[in-house]
Structure 1
């Protein structure tokens, strides 16, 4: 891990960091789109761009997210930087679990599985190991359930995933 990556992980616990990072998300989306998912979060942490289907609009919605690998899947968390409301992308996945991720320049159709019980606990530990500030975000979220999803690659032959 780079020195800058380690510094970012330490700063992630500060409230101002989440506020500043939220302001940078539109630029991160643009960089992810221009690089076709090869560069997300400036390459500081393992990141992907998820494209969900808007639960109200029905339109594709893309968001950069930190992830941890888990077998052939990707684990993401709806921390929303510790805010007290759910992120839109997580609500979109609840409404329509089919999505697409761009990881290291590769587009992969996925199906989101909401983790619960012991599986959620296992995945949470993986996430906190990668980004310790998730524990801080949990405290800030004011009792809100922070959802953990495992994104499982699917067969794209039906063409029914966002962006496809």
Structure 2
């Protein structure tokens, strides 16, 4: 069983992440991805534009990604938090989304990888960002792997 932080820690972390996320999105959009697509010590980052599952409100989330052929792969780790990230719930409800990669916006459809595909994509993502394995060790939940494929 993985050790988990007290609920208050996750709530505080969520608030800090919300502030940093808003700043990151503004920087990324304002520079057409010249700033924010890469951060020191981090792999590449995209902006995921999605719709709230319950609220119906448009949301933007910067996320690490791994490019695999024509697809983009996301890991729904939330740094090993006990719950899935909100953006995953939103993609399950509304899988047709857009992403911005640098200065390009792409229409994509999200789906969760099946078991065999999941293992292969997890390994590729860990090569891109080895910290995913420590996130997996922190949580009891299976961390979903999301594939974004081009629409149209």
Q: TM-score, normalised by structure 1?
A: 0.77
For the pair 1:39 / 2:23, whether they are aligned, the reply is: no
Q: Distance in 2 between matches of 1:92 and 1:64?
A: 14
Tell me the alpha carbon deviations over residues 57-105 of structure 1, each in whole angstroms, 9 at most, x when there is no partner.
1121100001010111100011111111111111100111111000011
Gaps of 5+ in 2: 6-12
Counterpart of 1:83 (choices 74, 81, 84) is 81
Q: Aligned residue for 1:147?
A: 144
Residues 6-155 of structure 1: pairs in structure 2 closer than 5 A: 22=17, 24-40=20-36, 42-44=38-40, 45-141=43-139, 143-155=140-152
Once the two structures are TM-superposed, the CA of residue 42 in structure 1 deviates from its matched residue by 4.5
Gaps of 5+ in 1: 1-14, 156-164
Q: Distance in 2 between matches of 1:109 and 1:41?
A: 18
Q: Distance in 2 between matches of 1:43 and 1:49?
A: 14
Q: TM-score, normalised by structure 2?
A: 0.82
Q: Secondary structure at the match of 2:82?
A: coil
CA contact (8 A) 1:40 1:49 kept: no
Q: Distance in 2 between matches of 1:124 and 1:29?
A: 26
Q: Distance in 2 between matches of 1:38 and 1:85?
A: 32
- Structure 1 residues 79 and 55, CA gap change in structure 2 (3 angstroms): same
